[in-house]
Chain A
Amino acid sequence: MPSLRWLPLPLAVLAVSAYATSYLDAEQARQVLFPGVTFEQLPFGLNPAQAAAIAAQAGLPVRVRQLRLWRGAGGELVLVDEVIGKHDRITYALGLNPDGTVKGIEIMDYRESYGHEVRGAAWRGQFIGKAVGAQLRVDEDIRNIGGATLSCRHVTEGVRRLLATWDIALRPLSKKTAGPASDALPHA
């Protein structure tokens, strides 16, 4: 029964494993997207009219009207959002340049057994430079990952919805602030 020789392998891996389950937390994601930029968190809730306009523009429902939004001194924005992969949530951060183009996306949490491949840098890199008006559809301007189709599609839809959110509601916030972000709001 030679196969049993491999039995200690999983145990050994378990023994040296790390404890974290998140790829990145919100602060780390901001720093990966915009290194060295100081961010402030902005409280921001979409009103029903905005949510309806975003849904119409993106062709997707807006299920969460309270945004998790950070702004840098130069008008950079970072949004943390969640979509359903196949059955479970994917948490990701979208970085937007002051002109509304995508700086990048970072997968912060991926909880399902399958489809982790959306974390791949090359796949995420397809979103860089995308802006309002881009198709943002899998098998159109975003290539699929075989075996991770639903995760690809739902993350892509999430980015499309957030770009519509920027267009409808956040565009004014992308302007450069007068001073450091920490001076803009009395936020501890």
Chain B
Amino acid sequence: MKLYQEKNNYELLEIHPDVAPTEIRHAYKILFDLYQDESIATYSFFSEKERKEILSSLEKAYLTLIDPESRKLYDRDLVGIGGLEEERTYSNHKKNPSSIYDFKKTHVQGLVTIRDPEELKYRASQNPVIQNILDQDTITGRDIKKIRTELKITLEEIAEATKVRIEMLRIIEEDNQELFLPMVYMTGFLKSYARYLQLDEVVILDGFIKYIDKGK
């Protein structure tokens, strides 16, 4: 058993080393209420001196951990003396909210870049590979992917901008027809996709539908 005086800041506040600041604040509030002068539950349990000591040690622990900078320093010291494992520190555990459109992949900051539609259109019209594809009778998912890579646009960007789940876009690009939702959805997704690339959506959709019908 550890003596009270030997506990580290996390043990004092009864929290895990990887909790977020809100939880630290909550834990401190509960313990403060428990040990403060008016608390009926600790009445007569401590001498005035002990109560003050406990409250000041709790306050110190709280102030150290609530400030991100001092917490980082404290964690480093604690890891140094072997009181904490590196992987369990908060800075290694920080959780960012994941994008709801792409919950399986980590969110990449600054994904949506503002594109100039005219510039995109121009680049597409000057690119022989793209023009070749657009002249075809049928257009496959792989062709669409080729257009995208020629334009140097990531799939993540399209998913963010069109709000279509990246899995669905990938299914289209890979011609993974077993996983297709009903065609009305798939054409809807493709329409948004084509629009974002400033392509003629009628040409793309016609080609794509012809390609699907051929396969049947």
A and B associate: no
